[in-house]
Structure 1
Amino acid sequence: MGLNHPRLILLMHGAGDRYVNDEHLVKEFDLTLISGRKVTHDFKQKGLITDQTSRIIGYPKFDVFEAIRKKMAYPFQNQRPFALYNPHYKRNLNSSPVFMKALVKVFNTAHTYNLVVAPHIKQFHKNFAIKKYWLERLHSTKTLVDTGSPAMLDMTYTSQAALYIGDVSSQIYEFMAIPRPCIFLNPQKIKWQDNPNFRHWTMGDVIEDIDALKPAIEQAQARHHLYRPIQEKLFQETFGYPLLGESRRAAEAIVDFMTKIK
C-alpha cells in the first residue's frame, strides 16, 4: 500500500474478564486505548503494554447509552419489564444447550418478566452451528428471540433489561452501567471462585442446576442488595470514567500520540 512503518492504534473490543486467545497481539501496537484500570493492570502484568503505549479512555459505546436506553425498539404488548438472556458462543462455557428451553418455559409461565433471548452474535457463525430457525421457534408473546438485529449490539437490551441472565459475555459490564440484578449459569460446574476470568460471577447468584433457575429468578430483585456494592466496585474498576465523554477522550489520545511522533 506504499506505507512505511505505519503507526498501529488499537481500540479494545469489550471489557470482559476472560483471557482472549489473540491477546498477545496487543504488544504489537504503538498505542492501545483501554477501557479502565482492570484491563490496564492485567495487560501490564502480562507485559503487553506500558504507560507510554497505552491510554485509559473509558468505553466509547457509553456515549450513546442514554439515547439507546430511551429507545424502546421491541416493546412487549403486556408492558411488563423484561429479562435479558445473553449466552456466549464458547462451547465449553455456553449455557444455552442446557438452560435455553428451561428458561423460556419459566418465563412463558411466570407473571413478573418477559424474556429477550439475544445470544452472542458469533453463535450464529457456521462453526458454532446454532440454527436461527430453531431459536425463532421459541418466540411467543412473552419471549422475544433476536438472531441478528442491531439491538443485539447497540445496548438496546443491556440498557433496558430489568434482569440479566448469562454466562461469560462481556455485555454484563454494559448492563452494569445501571446496577441491576443478574444471574449467571454454570451448567459445566466450573470451579470459578477466586478465578479472575470469572470476576463478574461475583455480581449475582451462580446457578448450576435447572431446578434452581425459577427460585433464582423469583428472588433476584430481593437479593440484589447483596450484590450491588460489588457491582459498583467492578464497574468502576472496569471503566472508571464518567459514563459520557469516552469518544472525545479517545480522539484526544490519538491526536496527542500522533503529534508527539518525531
Structure 2
Amino acid sequence: MAAGAWRLNRQGPVAFLFLGETLLIPHLYPIVEALAADGDVAIDLWVATSVHETLLTRWSEGLAGVRIRRVPGFRRIAGAADGQNPPLPPKIPTLLRLLPHLMRARAAVCAEQTSLWLPRVLPLRTPFVKTSHGVGSMSARDDPRRRAAAMMMVPSERERATYLDRGFDPARVVATGYVKASFRQRSITTLPFAEPRPTILYAPHWQRHRSSWWAWGADTVRRIAQDGRWNLIFAPHQRLAEGAPEVRAVMDEVRGLPNVHCDMDGFAMVDGSYTAAADIYLGDTSSQVIEFLQRPRPCVFLNAGGVEWRGDPSYAQWTCGEVVNDVGDLLPMLARAPAVHDSFAAIQARFAGDSLGDTRGSAPARAARVIRDLLDKRA
C-alpha cells in the first residue's frame, strides 16, 4: 500500500459494519455509543438497508463524530421504520465493493464472521475487530475466519479460555462483558395478551442439527396454544424460515389466539424485549437462553433429537432446567417448572455469569477501550 494511502488509513474513521441481520445490532451499537462518548474519534456506521439506517439514525442523533453511510448495493425497504428484519444485499459482493472505503478506515468493527473474509484472504492494513453476537457451548469458535481478526472481543473469561485452548494469541482475545446487556433501545415493554397468565418464550434454533423445530416445533406450539394455561411468545431465530418455510404457516394458524404472540421478523425478537418479558424459557440450543438467565427463571429444554447430552459440554446449558425427551411430557414439565426452579436457580446464575461475564453495563466502555488501544498501537 502506498504511503499516502497509509496516512489516510491512520487519519480515517473507525468503520462499524451493520451488514447482517438486525439481531447483530444490539451486540454492536452500544460500542458505538461508548466510543463516541468523548467525541474525539470519527465513526462511520455502514448500513446495508434502510431498516438499519432508520434505526441507527433515530438512536445516534447527537452522538459526536458519527455519520451513517450506505454500502454499495444499499437496499431500500418498504416500511423500514418498524425495524423488521430485511432482505439483505449479497454479503460478499457488498464487502468487495465496500473494500476501498475500509482500506481508508483506521479499524473495522463487526459482529458477524462474513466480514472477516476480507482480512482472511487479503493482506489488509486495516485491522478488523470482531465482537461476539452470541455465547454458549455451541459457538462456532473453530471457524478459521476468526483468526483473521486483529482483536477478538468475547463476553467472559470462560469464553476467552476456549479460544486460548485453540491456540489464539492471548493478547488478541479480550473479555469485555456482555455488550448487549447495555442495549437501551428495546421496542416492547408490554405484550398484547388478553389475560395475565404466565408467559412462555419458545425460541427454536435455526440450524436443523441444533433445533427442536423440525421434529417437535409445530406440535409444541399447538399444544401450548390449545392448553390455555400460559401465554406464548413464539419467536424463533430470524433465519429459521430459510430452512423451514412452513414456520410461517404455523404462525398464521395461531396468530389470532388471545394467548399467542408470534414474531419472526420484528426488532423486539432481537433487542431483549422477549427474554425480559417471559416467565419460562422453552428452547433447544439457542444462546438466547443465556440472555434470559441474566435473571434466573424456569427453563425447559427440548431434546427432540434424542441426544445423549449429559457430560457433553456442547449441551452445558441443559443443566439449567429439566429436559423433555418425549413431547408427550411437554405440558406436565412446563406446569411444574416453577415448582422445581429452586433446584436450578444457583446453577443458572453460575452458568450465566460464567458465560456472559459482566452484565452491569460496563462492557461497551471496555470494548471501546480495546478499540482505542488498538488505534494507539497503530498510530
TM-score by length of 2: 0.64
Distance 1:124 1:104, change over 3 A: closer
Could you say which residue in structure 2 is the equivalent of 1:183? 300
Could you say which residue in structure 2 is the equivalent of 1:60? 179
Q: Which runs of 5+ in 1 are unaligned?
A: none
Q: 1:241: Cα distance to partner?
A: 1.2
Structure 2 Cα separation of the partners of residues 195 and 43 of structure 1: 18
Aligned equivalent of 2:189, options 71, 89, 95: 71
Cα deviation 1:207-235 (Å, max 9, x = unaligned): 11111111100100011111111111111
Residue 14 of structure 1 contacts residue 170 of structure 1 at CA under 8 Å; is this kept in 2? yes
Could you say which residue in structure 2 is the equivalent of 1:195? 312
Cα deviation 1:155-207 (Å, max 9, x = unaligned): 11111100000001111111011000000001110111111111101101111
Describe how 1:99-118 pairs up with structure 2 within 5 A: 99-118=216-235
Distance 1:199 1:107, change over 3 A: same
Residue 192 of structure 2 contacts residue 261 of structure 2 at CA under 8 Å; is this kept in 1? no
Residue 188 of structure 2 contacts residue 268 of structure 2 at CA under 8 Å; is this kept in 1? no
Residue 104 of structure 1 contacts residue 143 of structure 1 at CA under 8 Å; is this kept in 2? no
TM-score by length of 1: 0.91
1:8 maps to amino acid:
F
SS of structure 2 residue aligned to 1:159 = helix
2:174 maps to amino acid:
R
> What's the % identity of the aligned pairs?
26
**Runs of 4+ deviating beyond 6 Å:** none
Could you say which residue in structure 1 is the equivalent of 2:252? 136
Q: 1:145: Cα distance to partner?
A: 1.6
Could you say which residue in structure 1 is the equivalent of 2:239? 122
SS of structure 2 residue aligned to 1:92 = helix
Which stretch of the first structure deviates more once superposed, 92-101 or 143-152?
A: 92-101
Q: CA RMSD in A?
A: 2.0
Residue 69 of structure 1 contacts residue 159 of structure 1 at CA under 8 Å; is this kept in 2? no
Q: Greater RCO between the two (CA within 8 Å, min separation 6)?
A: 1
Describe how 1:83-102 pairs up with structure 2 within 5 A: 83-102=200-219
Aligned equivalent of 1:147, options 241, 264, 275: 264
Distance 1:69 1:235, change over 3 A: farther
Could you say which residue in structure 1 is the equivalent of 2:290? 173
Q: Which runs of 5+ in 2 are unaligned?
A: 1-99, 104-123
Distance 1:21 1:59, change over 3 A: closer
| Structure possessing the higher radius of gyration over alpha carbons | 2
Whether 2:125 is the aligned partner of 1:20: answer no
Structure 1 Cα separation of the partners of residues 251 and 226 of structure 2: 18
Aligned equivalent of 1:163, options 272, 280, 301: 280
Structure 2 Cα separation of the partners of residues 173 and 117 of structure 1: 18
Residue 178 of structure 2 contacts residue 357 of structure 2 at CA under 8 Å; is this kept in 1? no
Cα deviation 1:99-154 (Å, max 9, x = unaligned): 233333433344542011111111022x4434423422122111122121111111
Whether 2:170 is the aligned partner of 1:51: answer yes
